[in-house]
Each structure stands twice: as structure tokens, then as C-alpha cells.
Amino acid sequence: MQDDVAKILITSDDLRQRTLELARQIEADYQDRDLVLVCVLKGAIMFLVDLIKELQRPLEIDFMAVSSYGASTRSTGVVRLTKDLDMSIEGRHVLVVEDIIDSGRTLQYLTDVLNLRQPASLRICTLLDKRERREVDVPVDYVGFVIPNEFVIGYGLDFDEVYRNLPFVGVLKPEMYTGE
Ligand code: IMP
Ligand code: MG
């Protein structure tokens, strides 16, 4: 698995440090407002777990799943909700926790769906931002790292469902997905 990694982009130490900083910022911003974290499956699981361990305040978590990719490294632009929240978010302060924003289409779809449910507020926290690939403009409130236009894996992120358990964010060797 490690042999398929061209280079490590973000180390475990960097991830830990930045997650801590984001947690402090979120604590300060939400103070005593009630907070629901919505984790977007599956890519954001590692980030969610590490983030909530650092958040020293009451919070609730729920999960949503969307699919847009299949076994490709490019977005199809078609987003489908495959798992909905279990709880109502009406009147709640919602923070969406995402792994990566690429074209922005997944996030645009998600924010449209969630806003219809009338949360008290809706903000976005993403671990990674591939800013140069953005096709639709979606406001992002918390960003872990802005990364270049390379296909990354690890720390929750997959290629064809594999590599999510790597403890760092790495660039996949291009020969692993050429020929698709
Ligand atoms: P978007 O809709 O184009 O913004 O794509 C967002 C989704 O695509 C993310 O939630 C990821 O699941 C996936 N994705 C985008 N770029 C990468 C990458 O470099 N590695 C792994 N998954 C990615
Ligand atoms: Mg994915």
C-alpha cells in the first residue's frame, strides 16, 4: 500500500497540529451555541474523530453519505444522497465536516439539501481544499490545508475505496489510476 504513494503531502504530525488549531477556532466561534457536526461519509471519518477529540465542549454528531465519484479520479458532476441524517437539524447550529473540496459540486448539493431544513446556521469545515479546481462557488468557513491539483489518498481519502487507513495524506502514483 505504501509503495503506491508517490510522496507524503501532509504528515500525521501536521494533521494533528492543524486539527488542534481548527478545534480551538471552532470552540471560540461557537461558544455556548449548541453544535451539531455533520460528517460526510466516508472520507471525513478520520478528520471527524480527531477533531471531536480536541473539541472540549458539548456537541452532537450525525452522518450523511453522498456519492459522486465511483472508481474515477475525476468528478462526474452528478451527486447522489446515499445516506441521510438521522436527526432533525431545524434550528440547530450545523457544521459540515468534509474531507476535501474539489469542484465544489458535492458541497453545493449538500448545502442546498441542508439549508432547506432551516438550521439556525450552516458552516463548512474541510480538511483539504483543492482550490484551483473549483467550478462552483461555495463558501467554506474552516480549511485545514489548501493543496495543489494532485489526487490524494489517506487519512480517510480513498482511491476506489482503498488507502483510507493510511495515517498521512499522500499523492497516489499516477500509474495506479492511468488506464481507467
Ligand atoms: P467535488 O464534488 O468535485 O468537490 O468532489 C468532492 C469529493 O470528491 C470529495 O468528498 C472526495 O470524496 C472526492 N475527491 C476529490 N478529490 C479527491 C482526491 O484527491 N482524493 C480522493 N478523493 C477526492
Ligand atoms: Mg471519495
Residues 4-19: pLDDT tens digits?
999 999 999 999 999 9
Nearest atom (ligand 1) to Cα of 103: 3
Give the residue whose CA is nearest to atom 15 of ligand 1: 102
* Residue 178 counted as domain residue: no
Per the structure, the count of domains in the chain is 1
Residue-wise pLDDT tens digits, 138-163: 999 999 999 999 999 999 999 999 99
Ligand nearest to the CA of 161: 2
DSSP H/E element including 83: strand 80-83
Quote the mean pLDDT of the chain: 93
Q: Which domain holds residue 51?
A: 12-152
34 catalytic residue (yes or no): no
User: Within a domain: residue 163?
Assistant: no
Residues in the chain: 180
Ligand 2 centroid to residue 120 C-alpha, Å: 29
In a domain, 80, yes or no: yes
pLDDT single digits (tens) 66-77: 987 555 556 666
Residue 125 to residue 146: CA distance in whole angstroms? 12
User: Per the domain annotation, does 180 fall within a domain?
Assistant: no
68 C-alpha vs ligand 1 centroid, how far in Å?
8
CATH code of the domain covering residue 45: 3.40.50.2020
Give strand pairing partners of 38. Answer: 62, 96
16, 70 Cβ separation under 8 angstroms: no
The band of 60, judged by pLDDT with boundaries at 50, 70 and 90, is: very high
* Residue 38 domain flag: yes
d(CA 87, CA 84): 9
Of the candidates 46, 8, 26, 55, the one whose C-alpha atom is nearest the C-alpha of residue 143 is: 26
68 exposed, middle or buried (CB, 10 Å; 0-12, 13-18, 19+)?
Answer: middle
Ligand closest to CA 98: 1
Residue 2 within any structural domain of the chain: no
Which entry of 50, 99, 102, 158 is annotated as an active-site residue? 102
Cα–ligand 1 centroid distance for 100 (angstroms):
6
Q: Give domain status of residue 108, yes or no.
A: yes
Average pLDDT on 80-106 reads 96
Residue 74 counted as domain residue: yes
Atom of ligand 1 nearest to the CA of 130: 16
List the 142-146 sheet strands across, edge first.
80-83, 60-67, 35-41, 93-101, 121-129, 142-146
